[in-house]
Amino acid sequence: MLSSLFFLLVNAWLVGAAASADYHERLLLRPLPQDTLLASFNFRSNESAAAFEQQNFGYFPRSFGQILQHAHAKELHLRFSVGRWDAENWGQRPWSGGREGGTGVELWAWLEADTEDEAFARWLKLTNALSGLFCASINFIDATKTIRPVMAFAPEGQHSNASRLHLLHGTLPHEVVCTENLTPFLKLLPCKGKAGISSLLSGHKLFDASFQTMAIDVRPTCEEGSATCALEMEQTVDMVLDLARAKRPKDDPIPRPLPIDQLECDTSKPYNAHDSCYPLNKGTQPAWTLEEVFGRPLKGACPLTGQTGDEADNLCINIPPERTVEVKTSGEVSESRLVADTLRCYKLPTGADVDLVLPEQKMATDLVRPKPGVFAARSINGHGQERGSIQAVISNPSTTEAVEIVYLESLPWFMKPYLHTLRARLDTTAESPIKETYYSPAVDRKRGTHLELRLRIPPASTLTLTYDFDKAILRYTEYPPDANRGFDVAPAVIRVLSPQARDHRGIYVRTTSLLLPLPTPDFSMPYNVIILTSTVMALGFGNIFNLLVRRFVAVDEVPITAAGGIKGRVLDKAYRLKALVLGG
Amino acid sequence: MALFTSILALRHDKRILRLPPYLSALCVIIGIGWLLVLPLDEYSRRTYISENAILPGQVHTYFGGSEHNVFRAYRHEVHGLIDKGVAERSERLSAIFHEQNLKVATQHYNYTVSNRTIANENVYAILQGPRADATEAIVLIGAWKNMADEVNNSGVALVLTLARYFKRWSLWSKDIIFLIPGDSTIGPQAWVDAYHDGHDERYVESLKIKSGALQAAVAVDYPAGPWGHRYDKLHVVYDGINGQLPNLDLFNTAVHISSSQMGVGSVIQRMWDHKDTYKDRLQTMLRGMLSQGLGHATGPHSSFIPYHVDAITLVTVGNGYHDEITLGKTLESLFRSLNNLLEHLHQSFFFYLLLQHKRFVSIGTYLPSAMLIAINFSITAMALWVKSGRSPEPIANPASTQPKNPAFKTPAEKQKDAKTAEEEDEKKEKKDAPPRPTTLIEKNGSQSIHPTASTQISERTLLTPLLLLLTAHTIGLLPLYTFNNWHAPALPALYITTANLTTLLPLIISFLLFWNFPTILTPHTLCLLQSFSLLLLGMFLAALATLNFSLSVIVGSVCVPLSFVRRTRHVGLTAAQMLGLALLNPCMVVQMGTKLLGVSLAQVLVQGAVGWHVWGLWTQVVVWLVWFPAWLVGAVVVASGMWE
């Protein structure tokens, strides 16, 4: 409980440090149980709205700014995610889930437009442009993958003309996020991964993480009581590194069995001998250094960040006070301890490498690990190619407070849910938890299903939500052309309405995506049929063509050859030779 | 036109009716002969990997070194749990998985079969692939007890060691589930049912944690104790419940990795010493067919196959020089191959008969044999149907070019025939002694004379035979229910009673019907009854052949005499037929089968009940609702001859 409180204070502190400078970046490290480490990178830049309108972008990346202007996007959120957050072991999500996306790519934006059609046209412009910028298949977010959420998302910024804004949301659960998406992401930063905390970001480590999400958020901010507004762009990268895996050297990443003399054995076991070794569970915090874990050194601070006050603390680590941390640098680093000493922040020097060294240590106190407000899991039940059912289990671990959530499902059109089979059961009471439903049914090949439910879960209760669905049969051209394991269903998005979020980001939980195996025809069969038909066609065509172009001549019409015997043959040869030479 | 009329005339040809028994016999002979040629090189093929993505044996395996020390420690740990209770065992296994930073859960199951409680616990752990998105998973199974009821000491230890080893790799594209079921056949069924939410919550606990769609499962059976045992070969077990088979690619991958990469020989169907001769191949195929036909669980993998999860079990056999590290490397390589899968295993065959570990026959080649055996019943059924429509009196053959009655011949023909067929005519005329009644038919001014018998319409009464057939099939429900629900210790006694009762049943039924309702068992009704019964049998078997080829062939083969037995007034012949049928009574066949295979009858019956309640086994349904009614009808038809 105490650690939760600390965490809330940390959050409050981080949010409170809202920037007045134009550019700000911070890396927050938090060791998690099971020898993992959460690294949250946060980069934030501001530009006044007036300057932005005049295309004076400053720290705001030009390429990105122009796309926003072109598509009339007033607020935009883009997510690239891989892996799963293990809430049971790791506790609450980074940023309370407010900077996280479902597996693959997720994009939602508030676009300014007069009509819905215009908004959709601008949405297509936006997706196509972003697709080019981030080397991702965002352009595949078409009408079937786009929904207009009603309750699940609220604008984070302050909008002056809210009535003309349209919220559109699209997901690509199948998209594989990789290095080609990280490179353009880093290029948007003022220091471009050359200095500052972004110098730690490398594709090798980022995409080896157990959980990883990259987010870009653009929102307008207006200071209260003043008419001057600014456009804030926030880029975040959250990753959970497995320390043992991350510490492996780059040139030898193979996890070979340890040499026998390095293996630590539990000598208390009766059978312990030179050939039997029960791996020792030491119960200590593992040793690690920044450079080991990220595979490259931290190249000081980005010179563009603010140099005073909170702003200057670029590197923070959230650990119990007893943990030893040693800073290794040739420059000057100042340490400040905050939030009852559970947060240590460092002001990084410019132009000097910095490394944090944490030795192996036996700890008396637990790690800082706040509990999440809601647990959620979703799975497909049943088997076979015709139908199935979805089961989502959402639980409220709090013993005192009820939670109110919005549950959003965006399903592909070929998955046809039956709303009359929707059941929401609570294990503690018979009362229906559903307070409000928004449902927009699918239209084949035009629109996906959009389901939003407002649910209330009493304290210490588990909600089980189930519904049945049919699997559609696709046309053969609608299957992906390459080998595939089935179709992915986007993760469900859960927004926690109460208890209320302490910042503008909101509290979100996303489930994992689902695999929907559809009845797949034997594609080799049409292939065989095509080959066979082509052969028959070729034979028929060959014969007819032969008949059409060949000139049939009666035997007596053939010149020369009429004469038989040796004389005839000789004449024939001579004739052919003559024809050959003269080209006749 | 002339051809058409002569074909039509052929319908009335007497020879047409004599043909079916020979045709049936020919079908049976070809059908069985077909099976016998399958082991030849010309009719079977060498196995090959069809799915390019698998790339078997292409990776270097690193399992070994200090992992061996860890393995030995785990083996001691597992050995220490043998005498402990289920709860303590689960707790300790969970603790080991937990130390490896895996997500662990247990699942309790408690079935009541034949008034006997089967309760145990499954322990499973999920390794979440670092780059995976929880949509796919592969399963590594080490059942606590193997099929011979020995503790799978080294197998479980190997699963624990591999869990620790696999956890260190980054490359898994799918989750890996390590499952330690309480036993080899019931635990995996409970787990896989609950995984797909197809379980009955009264008996099986729901799973607390799940992963994505299962793509494949591999079970390992290595019952060596704490001091190890060096084995010679790997026995690859692949039969699933109800004779369903895993994709051949999975089997081939396992065989390829073990023999080509690891140098461990692989065997199938308990053919420990396969010399690749015709006899060995045939024996392997027949063992495979028997196992497939019975449809029982042959290992922890069997329960997965009905859910379209391809699965195999690797069992270590013999005394040789391969150790646990080789087995571990085999599994590592196999999992690396499965990890490569881009789509569900679908490329290769799902219907095949294996002749040795690298030779198989595909469905297109072997299916005709079961179909021919099934068709034999249909042919007889049709013949009996035609026969039932004929008048009971014999009719002269109108299509014959040699009319038997010389009165119908022109003088010229008479002279011609007189010389050539004088002797024959004399013989025939003796047989045809009483001249048959004839009828004069007039139409459009033309007249013709026909035997009266051929002009009379003989009506088929369908209701009685259909009702009798329905009754016969309903009777089958009784033993089906009793055998699946009776107390386990009383099952053999029940079986003997049923065997005696069913042997006497045809005599009793026909006697009761003959004395009480003599009008029912007319030859006409019996003919139709037999016809319907055989028709149904043929249809069932043909349909079954596409689902479980082996069961169809086995049932078809023992039912073959049913299409040749007829009701006869000859007492000796009836007795001989009855004796033959008594031997082919399903109960007798099953009993003789158990004697031949050297298994206990009680065990078979208990397994059957377990199969019905736990595995969803359909073999009993085929025995009691297809085979038994067909046999009963055949026997009743024959027995009715006794009472005349």
**Domain presence at residue A367:** no
**Domain presence at residue A200:** yes
Task: Based on the fold, state whether residues A292 and A388 are members of the same structural domain.
Answer: no
Contact A83 B196 (CB under 8 A): no
Out of B300, B335, B357, pick the residue that ends a domain.
B357
Judge whether residue B407 has pLDDT over 70: no
Token code pair at residue B549: 């080829």
Q: How far is B348 from chain A (nearest CA, A)?
A: 12
Q: Is the ipTM of this complex over 0.90?
A: no
Lowest mean pLDDT among A5-9, A74-78, B149-153: A5-9
Task: Based on the fold, state whether residues B475 and B596 are members of the same structural domain.
Answer: yes
Chain A stretch 448-487, residues whose beta carbon is closer than 8 A to a beta carbon of chain B: 482-486
Out of A516, A542, A558, pick the residue that ends a domain.
A516
Judge whether residue B166 has pLDDT over 90: yes
**Domain presence at residue A153:** yes
DSSP structural state of residue A387:
E
Q: How far is A285 from chain B (nearest CA, A)?
A: 14
Q: What is the pLDDT of residue B2?
A: 60
Partners of residue A486 in chain B, C-beta under 8 Å: 135, 213, 343-344
Of A34, A279, A515, nearest to B136 by CB-CB distance is A515
**Domain presence at residue A490:** yes
> From the candidates A265, A275, A379, which should be mutated to test the interface with B, based on the most B CB atoms within 10 A?
A379
Task: Based on the fold, state whether residues A128 and A223 are members of the same structural domain.
Answer: yes
Return the closest-CA partner of residue B603 out of B584, B590, B614.
B590
* Residues B265 and B234 sit within 8 Å (Cβ to Cβ): yes
pLDDT band at B408 (very low <50, low <70, confident <90, very high): very low
Task: Based on the fold, state whether residues B193 and B290 are members of the same structural domain.
Answer: yes
Spatial strand order of the sheet with B359-362 comes to B45-46, B359-362, B352-356
Lowest mean pLDDT among A1-15, A248-262, B77-91, B146-160: A1-15
- Cα separation, B59 vs B172, in Å, equals 14
Contact A207 B131 (CB under 8 A): yes
Q: What is the pLDDT of residues B455-485, one digit of tens each?
A: 666 778 889 899 999 999 999 999 999 999 9
Q: Which residue has the higher pLDDT, A563 or A489?
A: A489
Q: What is the pLDDT of residues A202-258, one digit of tens each?
A: 888 888 888 999 999 999 988 766 667 888 999 999 999 999 888 888 788 888 898
Of A245, A269, A484, nearest to B342 by CB-CB distance is A484
Cis bond upstream, residue A220 (ω within 30):
no
- Cα separation, A96 vs A253, in Å, equals 33
User: Which one of A201-210, A283-292, B494-503 scores highest in mean pLDDT?
Assistant: B494-503
* Residue in chain A nearest B211 by alpha carbon: A379
> In this complex, is the C-beta atom of A280 within 8 Å of any C-beta atom belonging to chain B?
no
- Cα separation, B614 vs B575, in Å, equals 42
Q: What is the pLDDT of residue A496?
A: 92
pLDDT band at A576 (very low <50, low <70, confident <90, very high): confident
pLDDT band at B409 (very low <50, low <70, confident <90, very high): very low
Token code pair at residue B246: 């895993």
What is the pTM (predicted TM-score) of this model?
0.87
Q: What angle do CA A311, A316, A322 make, to 5 degrees?
A: 140
- Cα separation, A528 vs A534, in Å, equals 10
Place of tokens 């979440």: B128
Domain range enclosing B326: 63-357
In CATH, what number is assigned to the domain containing residue B194?
3.40.630.10
* Residue in chain A nearest B136 by alpha carbon: A515
Contact B197 A263 (CB under 8 A): no
Judge whether residue B423 has pLDDT over 70: no
Q: Mean pLDDT, chain B, as a whole number?
A: 88
* Residues B158 and B324 sit within 8 Å (Cβ to Cβ): yes
Task: Based on the fold, state whether residues A483 and A545 are members of the same structural domain.
Answer: no
Q: What is the pLDDT of residue B417?
A: 47
Q: What is the pLDDT of residue B541?
A: 95
- Cα separation, B132 vs B155, in Å, equals 27
Strand pairing category for A514-516 and A493-498: unpaired
pLDDT band at B584 (very low <50, low <70, confident <90, very high): very high
- Cα separation, A113 vs A116, in Å, equals 7
> In this complex, is the C-beta atom of A286 within 8 Å of any C-beta atom belonging to chain B?
no
Contact B72 A277 (CB under 8 A): yes
pLDDT band at B620 (very low <50, low <70, confident <90, very high): very high
Total of domains in chain B = 2
Task: Based on the fold, state whether residues A464 and A578 are members of the same structural domain.
Answer: no
Q: What is the pLDDT of residue B322?
A: 94
Out of A311, A335, A362, pick the residue that ends a domain.
A362
Contact A381 B197 (CB under 8 A): yes
**Domain presence at residue B183:** yes
Total of domains in chain A = 3
Out of A328, A362, A396, pick the residue that ends a domain.
A362
Q: Mean pLDDT, chain A, as a whole number?
A: 86
Size of the A and B interface in Cβ pairs below 8 Å: 133
Segment A288-310 shows an average pLDDT of 84
Q: What is the pLDDT of residues B95-142, one digit of tens each?
A: 999 999 899 999 999 999 888 899 999 999 999 988 788 889 999 999
Q: What is the pLDDT of residue B505?
A: 92
**Domain presence at residue B414:** no
pLDDT band at A480 (very low <50, low <70, confident <90, very high): confident
Return the closest-CA partner of residue B197 out of A390, A470, A519.
A390
DSSP structural state of residue A474:
P
Task: Based on the fold, state whether residues A356 and A401 are members of the same structural domain.
Answer: no
Of B68, B134, B169, nearest to A84 by CB-CB distance is B134
Partners of residue B213 in chain A, C-beta under 8 Å: 380, 486, 515, 517
Task: Based on the fold, state whether residues B351 and B376 are members of the same structural domain.
Answer: no
Task: Based on the fold, state whether residues B20 and B100 are members of the same structural domain.
Answer: no
Task: Based on the fold, state whether residues A423 and A548 are members of the same structural domain.
Answer: no
Segment B228-244 shows an average pLDDT of 94
Place of tokens 């049936």: B24
Domain range enclosing A541: 527-583
Judge whether residue B331 has pLDDT over 50: yes
Task: Based on the fold, state whether residues A331 and A301 are members of the same structural domain.
Answer: yes
**Domain presence at residue A49:** yes
Task: Based on the fold, state whether residues A356 and A390 are members of the same structural domain.
Answer: no
Residues of chain B with pLDDT > 90: what percent? 69
Q: What is the pLDDT of residue B306?
A: 93
Q: How far is A405 from chain B (nearest CA, A)?
A: 23
Out of B357, B378, B404, pick the residue that ends a domain.
B357
**Domain presence at residue B169:** yes
Of B69, B168, B226, nearest to A255 by CB-CB distance is B168
Residues of chain A with pLDDT > 70: what percent? 93
Task: Based on the fold, state whether residues B165 and B220 are members of the same structural domain.
Answer: yes
Of B67, B103, B215, nearest to A257 by CB-CB distance is B67
In CATH, what number is assigned to the domain containing residue A419?
2.60.40.740
Task: Based on the fold, state whether residues A338 and A439 are members of the same structural domain.
Answer: no
Segment A315-341 shows an average pLDDT of 84
Task: Based on the fold, state whether residues B328 and B385 are members of the same structural domain.
Answer: no
Contact A83 B131 (CB under 8 A): yes
**Domain presence at residue B243:** yes
Task: Based on the fold, state whether residues A325 and A391 are members of the same structural domain.
Answer: no
Contact A258 B65 (CB under 8 A): yes
Torsion sign across C-alpha atoms A120, A123, A129, A132: negative
> In this complex, is the C-beta atom of A284 within 8 Å of any C-beta atom belonging to chain B?
no
Q: What is the dihedral of CA A271, A274, A276, A277, to 10 degrees?
A: 100
* Residues A557 and A568 sit within 8 Å (Cβ to Cβ): no
Q: How far is B481 from chain A (nearest CA, A)?
A: 28
**Domain presence at residue B51:** no
- Cα separation, A410 vs A513, in Å, equals 11
Task: Based on the fold, state whether residues A447 and A579 are members of the same structural domain.
Answer: no
Place of tokens 């009691």: B624
Of A277, A380, A513, nearest to B133 by CB-CB distance is A513
Task: Based on the fold, state whether residues B344 and B478 are members of the same structural domain.
Answer: no
Partners of residue B134 in chain A, C-beta under 8 Å: 84, 512-513
Contact A517 B344 (CB under 8 A): yes
Task: Based on the fold, state whether residues B291 and B345 are members of the same structural domain.
Answer: yes
Return the closest-CA partner of residue B451 out of B411, B403, B522.
B403
Segment B575-594 shows an average pLDDT of 92
Task: Based on the fold, state whether residues B344 and B463 are members of the same structural domain.
Answer: no
Task: Based on the fold, state whether residues B208 and B236 are members of the same structural domain.
Answer: yes
Task: Based on the fold, state whether residues B153 and B34 are members of the same structural domain.
Answer: no
Torsion sign across C-alpha atoms B459, B465, B470, B471: positive
Element (H, E) at A363: none
Contact A277 B62 (CB under 8 A): no
Out of B334, B357, B380, pick the residue that ends a domain.
B357
Output the DSSP codes for A260-306: GGG--B-TTSTT--SS--PBP----BPPEEHHHHHSS-BB---TTS-
Judge whether residue A564 has pLDDT over 80: no
**Domain presence at residue B79:** yes
**Domain presence at residue B52:** no
Q: Which residue has the higher pLDDT, A83 or A250?
A: A83
Task: Based on the fold, state whether residues A497 and A558 are members of the same structural domain.
Answer: no
**Domain presence at residue A368:** no
Q: How far is B292 from chain A (nearest CA, A)?
A: 22
- Cα separation, B485 vs B480, in Å, equals 9
Q: How far is B198 from chain A (nearest CA, A)?
A: 7
**Domain presence at residue B7:** no
Task: Based on the fold, state whether residues B339 and B198 are members of the same structural domain.
Answer: yes
